[in-house]
Structure 1
Amino acid sequence: MLHVLTVVLPVFGLMGLGYAARAVGYVTDRTGEGLSDFVFAVAIPALIFKTLTAADLPTSQPWGYWFSYFGGVLVTWTLATVVARKFFAVSHVEGVVAGFTAGQSNTVLVGIPLILEAFGPEGAVPLFLLIAIHLPITMTTATVLAEGRGVPVRRILRQLVTNPLLIAIAVAVLAREAAPTGLPGAAKTIVDMLGAAASPCALFAMGIALRRYGMGDQPVLAVILSSLKLVVHPLIVLMLARYVFTVPPTWTGVAVMFAAMPCGVNAYLFAERYRTGVAISSGAIAISTAVCVATSAIWLAIMGVR
């Protein structure tokens, strides 16, 4: 429990700093928007590139592992979208933001240190495998859903091929082939520095947005999305991994804890990109990040980690 606390508190603390800085007028809303643009267009792509080029990928695909985790994403995302649209009368894109918020995990900020501490070196391969495809799949899905209604296919494809995150994935794949030993020293340092800036900048910007938008006029929706993320998502993954696909214990534990992480900042960045649903995502991220101090400890106990 103490370890979970030491991991989560700095995350929530950075959001608090952004919130406080905006509250006293030290920074403006434009600061948050600029930081969000930087994170989405530069820092997160650098982090994706770094992760994909360093990942040790297996020769065969662990299909049961994929189906278990993304089956949970599918159910959680769908439930969140239906609830948001049916009971809270949100727009189409806001419904996409709600689903993305409930289905996207905060892996980089909370998941990596927590999962590696819990499962040790044996958890590294399944963890980084999931990280390598988690964001591309969820971001692509969100983009298609947001752009796909009544929009020409050509426009959808243009949105995808010009998406900085997807460009980073393509460049990383090419880099693995062209430079299997990795980037030269100076280039690697630049990529590492940009990637390292992603988390603090995103969290600080999210704190500014939380001050600007608060919980919006639908705080209940933020609570529901947090509950779906912290309880429903990991529960479905556990059921699928343990009783349907018989995934090995360590891989099951990694998938469950990955799902049990709070709502990820990429949902907020996506909302900022479309300038809609920001209050929904920022509120759910704040609530789930605070509550996961307790829920993470419970899920670790369920998975037999002490």
Structure 2
Amino acid sequence: MNALAIIAPIFGIVLIGWGAALTGLLSDKVSDGLSEYVFAVAVPALILATLTRPGMQGEIAWSYWVSYFGGAAISWAAGTLIARRRGGIERRGAILHGFSACQSNTIFVGVPMILQAYGEDGAFPLFMLLAVHLPLMMGSATFLIESDSDRPVLARLRGLALVLLKNPIFVALLVGMAMKGVGFVPDGILKSLIDAFGGTASTCALVALGAGLKRYRVLFDLKGALVIAALKNVLHPLAVWVLAFHVFRMPPAYAGVATLFAAMPVGINAYLLAVRYRTETGMVAASVLVSTLVAPLTTLFWLAVLGRT
């Protein structure tokens, strides 16, 4: 019942956002604006508020990173190999299949879900993983896709750095860790503003995700979308769970955060990369929708496995 109480409000808000978009209560312009607000203002404020909170501290062992990204590598490789065995999928498309199979929806679902499940114990490992996840996953996908281009390696790395430095989430993580490093804790009006914006992040993110689902078409390639959803919602967290709980040793909250982080549905960044490189856009869009729709069941399962019941 506790696990159901965690996922019901989260995916309930997603469904309300989806229904509001389908019925016309939320227009595409509102959906786009809400998504931009979440990405550029609300979640960065939540990151700053969390990282600068007194008592927010911890230590991340190398086993934590190996567990999560090792599981991601397994799911990425499986997705790529399956795509290569299917006819008509080019090299870049196969890479995007693999990337979709391990790219978690961290901002719109992961942050509210994990904070709801683990509270203060999970906040530090969550945001540390978020800080590394964004540049490493996006950087790896971009580098692999462009590895056959004529651009020099340094030019590709420079372009990636510019993209990251223009990303509000990445900048907020850098600023928050810098503020934490020097011991600066916002107070007064500054704290009130950060808390006010950060307090809107979860609800607005979930509504924006639900409204955005209207654009994705599940019937583009249902079989392929189900394969990617199975890899993302089942194989990825399974691999992380095995590594975090049965191969390495770490605090239970850290292992649980890594597993639940991996259990999130396909993230919007996979679709953005597909649009950018003009390949497999329909497949990736369908995968985002399918993995999000099955996520309530798979998340409930993983919450039970993790003892959040």
TM-score band w.r.t. shorter chain: 0.7 to 0.9
Classify 1:91/1:216 alpha carbon distance in 2 versus 1 (closer, same or farther; 3 Å). Answer: farther
What is the match of residue 167 of structure 1?
171
Q: Structure 2: how far apart are the matches of 1:18 and 1:206?
A: 7
Aligned to 1:238: 241
1:258 and 2:261 are equivalent in the alignment:
yes
Identity over aligned pairs, percent: 39
- Comparing 266-275 with 136-145, greater Cα deviation is found at 266-275
Residues 37, 275 of structure 1: CA spacing in aligned structure 2 closer, same or farther, 3 A cutoff? farther
Alpha-carbon distance change, 305 to 24 in structure 1, aligned in 2, over 3 angstroms: closer
Which blocks of at least 5 consecutive residues in structure 1 are unaligned? none
SS of 2:220's equivalent? Answer: coil
Separation of aligned partners in 1, 2:285 and 2:205: 11
Q: State the 1:195 CA deviation.
A: 2.7
Q: Is the partner of 1:33 in helix, strand or coil? A: helix
1:28 is matched with which residue? 27
Asked if residue 156 in structure 1 is aligned to residue 155 in structure 2, the reply is no
Report the equivalent of 1:201: 204
CA spacing shift, 1:92–1:242, aligned 2, 3 Å: same
Give the 3-state SS of the residue equivalent to 1:27 in structure 2: coil
Q: 1:155 to 1:48 in 2, by over 3 A?
A: same
What is the one-letter code of the residue matched to 2:164? L
Q: Please provide the CA RMSD for this pair.
A: 3.6
Describe how 1:89-108 pairs up with structure 2 within 5 A. Answer: 89=88, 98-105=97-104, 106-108=109-111
| One-letter identity of the residue aligned with 2:162 | R
Match of 2:50 in 1: 51
AA aligned to 1:107 is G
> Is 1:299 matched with 2:299?
no
CA distance in 1, matches of 2:167, 2:44: 10
What is the identity, as a one-letter code, of the residue corresponding to 1:175?
Answer: M
Report the more deviating stretch, 253-262 or 275-284: 275-284
Task: State the Cα distance separating 1:237 from its structure 2 match.
Answer: 1.5
Deviation at 1:199, TM superposition (A): 3.1
Q: Is the Cα contact below 8 Å between 2:39 and 2:168 reproduced in 1?
A: yes
Greater shift after overlay, 20-29 or 70-79?
A: 20-29
- TM-score, L = length of structure 1: 0.77
Answer with 5-14 or 68-77: which moved more.
5-14
| Maintained 8 Å contact 2:271/2:281 | yes
Name whichever of 228-237 and 287-296 sits farther off: 287-296
Deviation string, structure 1 residues 199-224 (Cα, Å, up to 9, x no partner): 33333233333222332512333322
Distance 1:280 1:193, change over 3 A: farther
CA distance in 2, matches of 1:278, 1:51: 35
* Displacement after TM superposition at 1:89 (Å): 4.9
After superposition, what is the alpha-carbon deviation per residue over 1:117-151, rounded to whole angstroms, capped at 9, x for unaligned?
Answer: xxxx6656545543454445434444555666635
Alignment-mate amino acid for residue 25 of structure 2: Y
1:113 pairs, out of 116, 138, 161, with 116
State the AA in 2 paired with 1:73. A
Within 5 Å, give how 1:181-220 maps onto structure 2: 181-215=184-218, 217-220=220-223
Pair 278,242 (structure 1): closer, same or farther in 2 beyond 3 Å: same
- When the two structures are superposed, what TM-score results if normalisation uses the length of structure 2? 0.76
